[in-house]
């Protein structure tokens, strides 16, 4: 059976834990490890702009011994109306895996239904599971006992927030508190999914509308941009709704003394986070960005471990 990674919920708790452990090993030795992708090619299909995702996946494939084929939909027959299913069938004949950064989650699901190789969600409007995997890795590096971590997400209940709730609950973090303005909450099905996982792992999931309540005693303060790709028409409304949810030194004072600050980038300094916090001693942002590479290497290795060399 083909293994896909379309959602943070596609990994079991033990699978996720093993991937994080492997990612930490791969981080210690960038070169000289096994190259499971030698002689194999991975397609990177981008329907949205990308910096960290594109570069980290290209480098990950290369360091695992493979060849990355970067594709844009406007350069493919997709741009002229070829169905996703047909594209998935054809690409599967050439590639060992397909990494896709797109809009609707349904596009990923259509690709995965047709493909005969693993499909990886490199971001959709619903989830960003590769980001969450790197974030769980970062928390695991910074805290001796991640299961005791109180995690606070401040801002928009978006795709990153969705995946963090799922992945954090699978990691068994003590609590995951989402603080957001009314009307910008995570979608209910994902919230219920995270709550169900939390019941099994002991992770408490909570939604609040007060940034102070969310930040109080937190070990991790996390934020993302207030206006994501495709939401530009809502920017003025969002800038009015979110100012209280900015992570600043005042927010840090509410958190635990050992708190770290995380942001999936790109950051809008002066909006969701102040520059002094982003560049300050409690920022884990740059390690977090680097960990995209190592987590994705572990993911590619795991997904392709049972597939014969093409």
Tell me which residues are annotated as active site: 101, 128, 131, 224, 264, 292
Token pair 């028409």 is found at 233
- Strand partners of residue 176: 151, 205
Neighbours of 116 (CB within 10 A): 11
The DSSP bridge partners found for residue 153 are: 178, 222
The whole-angstrom separation of Cα 158 and Cα 226 is: 9
Length of the chain: 310
**How many CA atoms lie less than 13 Å away from 109 in the CB half-sphere?**
8
Of 156, 151, 152, 186, the closest CA to residue 172 belongs to 151
Structure tokens at 290: 């680097």
20: left (phi over 0), alpha (psi -120 to 50) or beta: alpha
Q: Please check whether residue 181 is in contact with residue 245, taking contact to mean a CB–CB distance below 8 angstroms.
A: yes
| CB count in 10 Å sphere of residue 74 | 10
CA gap 103, 123 in Å, rounded: 8
CA distances in angstroms from 243 to 227, 240, 272, 285, listed in the order given = 12, 7, 7, 21
Pairing of strands 119-123, 150-154: unpaired
Nearest to 149 by CA among 139, 164, 159, 160: 139
Quick one: tokens of 194?
A: 């995270």
């Amino acid at each position: 059976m083909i293994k896909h990674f379309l959602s943070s919920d596609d990994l079991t708790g033990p699978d996720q834990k093993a991937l994080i452990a492997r990612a930490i090993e791969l981080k210690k030795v960038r070169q000289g490890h096994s190259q499971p992708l030698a002689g194999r090619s991975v397609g990177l299909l981008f329907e949205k702009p990308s910096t960290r995702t594109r570069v980290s996946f290209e480098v990950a494939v290369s360091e695992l011994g493979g060849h990355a084929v970067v594709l844009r939909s406007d350069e493919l027959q997709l741009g002229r109306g070829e169905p996703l299913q047909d594209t998935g069938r054809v690409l599967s004949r050439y590639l060992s895996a397909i990494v896709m950064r797109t809009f609707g989650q349904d596009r990923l699901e259509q690709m995965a239904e047709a493909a005969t190789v693993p499909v990886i969600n490199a971001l959709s409007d619903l989830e960003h599971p590769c980001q969450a995997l790197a974030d769980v890795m970062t928390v695991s590096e910074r805290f001796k006992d991640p299961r005791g971590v109180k995690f606070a997400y401040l801002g928009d209940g978006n795709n990153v927030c969705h995946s963090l709730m799922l992945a954090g609950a699978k990691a068994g973090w003590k609590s995951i508190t989402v603080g957001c303005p009314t009307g910008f909450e995570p979608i209910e099905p994902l919230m219920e999914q995270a709550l169900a996982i939390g019941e099994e792992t002991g992770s408490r999931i909570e939604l609040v509308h007060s940034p102070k309540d969310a930040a109080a005693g937190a070990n991790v303060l996390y934020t993302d941009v207030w206006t994501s790709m495709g939401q530009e028409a809502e920017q003025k409304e969002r800038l009015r709704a979110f100012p209280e949810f900015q992570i600043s030194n005042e927010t840090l004072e509410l958190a635990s003394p050992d708190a770290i600050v995380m942001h999936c980038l790109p950051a809008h300094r002066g909006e969701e986070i102040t520059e002094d916090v982003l560049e300050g001693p409690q920022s884990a942002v740059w390690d977090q960005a680097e960990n995209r590479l190592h987590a994705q290497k572990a993911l590619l290795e795991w997904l392709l471990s049972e597939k014969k060399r093409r």
